[in-house]
Structure formats: C-alpha cells, structure tokens
Amino acid sequence: LRTGELLDGVPVIRRRKIPSSYGDRWMQQSQDELLNIAKNRLFTGEILRVFIYLNGILDFDNWLYTTSSQIASDLQMHRQNVWRSLNFLINQDVVLVGRRSSKSSILTYRLNPYFGWKGKIVHLNQEIRRIKKAAKDAKSETESKKTSG
C-alpha cells in the first residue's frame, strides 16, 4: 500500500463471473433420465408436451409456478388433459408434490431433481440427500408396519 500500513489477511484474486449466454433461462438435465423417458412407451404426445413445458418454466431450486389453466392455455390443450398429464408425471415421480402455500390451500410442485436442476449445485446436493433420507424413512416405516401387523 502506498501509505505503508499493514493489513492482516491474504489477498484473494477472484475471476470475473462470466455471464451465461442464456441469462437465467437455463437448467441442467440428466441425460440418463431423458433416455429413460424416451424409452418409456407410456410417455406419449400430451404428456411429453407438458413435461417439456414444465422444464421451460422451471424456476430456481426446481419450483414450478403455474396453474393447469395456464398450461392448457399456453399449449392449447383441454385442462382435463393437462391434469391427466400432470397426474401421470406425479405418479412417475417426475414431478413432486410440494408443500401447501402459506397464503392459500394451493399445492406447490417441483421437478424431481433426478430429472433436471435449476439452481446452485450445493442446493441440488442438499435436495438429493433429503429425497434419499425421505425414501429411506418411508421404507423403514413400511417394514416396521409389516413386522408389527
């Protein structure tokens, strides 16, 4: 320093963050899960359209902020067919049902992080650990019911 004062610590050089060409319109996809979907004959036209749409509107940490009416309008589909597609994706564990919103009784939805992720990697790793723990807890609860019943 020019004035001669001493500073404690170590100088750190940080690279300038390079902005993404996609802005914040990006996500990571699991190629293995995409192949599994492609090979599954039950994933047909409207279901695939809804799946692709949900990936297109995915928000950070995999939250999906939309309604079936909005999806139906944007995809020019009947709302009943959107619901059928969403229920299929939920039953296939592609879409996870989240908590109820604190301001209403509306359920929230998230894309299963095994299929894709939008957000920080550290949050992805935390979410994967949470899902594995929940699955393990559910399995042990089921086993304890079988042995006690």
Q: What is the pLDDT of residue 12?
A: 78
Count Cα neighbours of 133 within 13 Å in the Cβ-side half-sphere: 6
pTM of this prediction exceeds 0.75 = yes
Q: What is the pLDDT of residue 89?
A: 98
108-138 per-position pLDDT tens digit: 899 999 999 999 999 999 999 999 998 899 8
Tens digit of pLDDT at every position of the chain (149 positions): 567 777 777 777 888 888 878 887 889 999 999 999 999 999 999 999 999 999 999 999 999 988 899 999 999 999 999 999 999 999 999 999 977 666 666 678 999 999 999 999 999 999 999 999 988 998 888 888 877 76
* Token pair 């409207």 in the structure block, residue: 46
Residue 74 makes CB contacts below 8 A (sequence gap 6+) with 53
Strands 95-100 and 116-117: unpaired
Nearest to 50 by CA among 66, 61, 35: 66
Q: What is the pLDDT of residue 128?
A: 92
Token pair, residue 107, equals 């359920």
Q: What is the pLDDT of residue 2?
A: 67
